[in-house]
Amino acid sequence: MADRRDRRRRADVVAAPTLLAVPNVSEGRDLAALDAIGAAFEAGGARLLDRHHDPDHNRAVFTLAGEPGRLARAMVDGARAAVERIDLTRHEGVHPRVGAVDVAPIVHLTDEDRGAANAEALVLADALGHELGLPVYLYGALAGGRSRAELRRGGPEALIARTTPDYGPRHLHPTAGATLVAARPPLVAFNLRVDAPLDEAKRIAAAIREGGPEGLPGVRAIGLALERGGIVQVSTNLEGATTAAQVVEAVLRHTRVSSAELVALAPEKALAGFPEDLPLHNRATIEERLYPR
């Protein structure tokens, strides 16, 4: 009888979903600071899958994995380390931002895990506001579709002046600004190096982004110049079914693309059909890091 009860109990146990978190911090030059932030995420109980940093963007993207209930706590621990080490008032970089911990999305890999990701994101938002004194704004599905670009417009001072935070104080943190939190499916952060001046890159970005004259579904795009390397980029986020190969094809209609890079990990399906003759830096997928062979 006891053995049957044990088997029934084991059958009733459902494995906790694995969620990802992809915090973006406004530091891409101080490697000691990034090491400390990454160590804090891991000490809090998250598994560090990837770190990408760039000195021109002056930004780093961490990809973390963890279970509901533990991932938010690890995020807070890492965010505390970032707040201690990053002074947004001295920050210089080409990437738009509103905070030292600029965005902190919780990522669900399946539709079944959406509810768990939503709950984890709300727990995280509350903790960042109450424990670290950060004004927190929700975006995406948790905020009726409000976008990161909408919140970043004008910078942190303009944001706090026009919009009340969803969590935390109604004023900016003196050195860490504000933080944006969401629950979302995976996206692809994908940059293309183009042989074009900055004005042309901006025009191309406006043409191919969703809503533009050649708009690709779910594509966000901006044109940027990286002064250290003399590089001009069309920098994109792919938030729908559009693949990286389709973005390359769209940009090639306007100018030559000399290389591309992934910022953080991409789902395998987003790289389907990627042109073999185009160098793709930092090529790594969620699947190969999360489930290594």
- Helical H segments across 86-208, by residue range: 114-132, 148-152, 155-162, 198-208
Separation CA 292–CA 65 (nearest Å): 13
Please choose, from the candidates 91, 109, 172, 105, the residue with its C-alpha nearest in 3D space to the C-alpha of residue 141: 105
Separation CA 201–CA 222 (nearest Å): 8
- CB 58, CB 27: distance < 8 Å: yes
Separation CA 104–CA 220 (nearest Å): 18
Name the DSSP class of 174.
T
Q: Count CB neighbours of 5 within 10 A.
A: 9
Please choose, from the candidates 14, 107, 120, the residue with its C-alpha nearest in 3D space to the C-alpha of residue 70: 120
Separation CA 50–CA 23 (nearest Å): 11
β-pairing verdict for 188-194 and 219-226: unpaired
- CB 187, CB 248: distance < 8 Å: no
Separation CA 105–CA 95 (nearest Å): 17
- CB 272, CB 70: distance < 8 Å: no
What is the maximal distance between C-alpha atoms in the chain? Answer: 76
Tell me the chain's radius of gyration from C-alpha atoms.
Answer: 20
Please say if 95 is a catalytic residue.
Answer: yes
Q: Residue 6 corresponds to which amino acid?
A: D
Catalytic residue among 95, 171, 254, 281: 95
Residues annotated catalytic, as ranges: 95
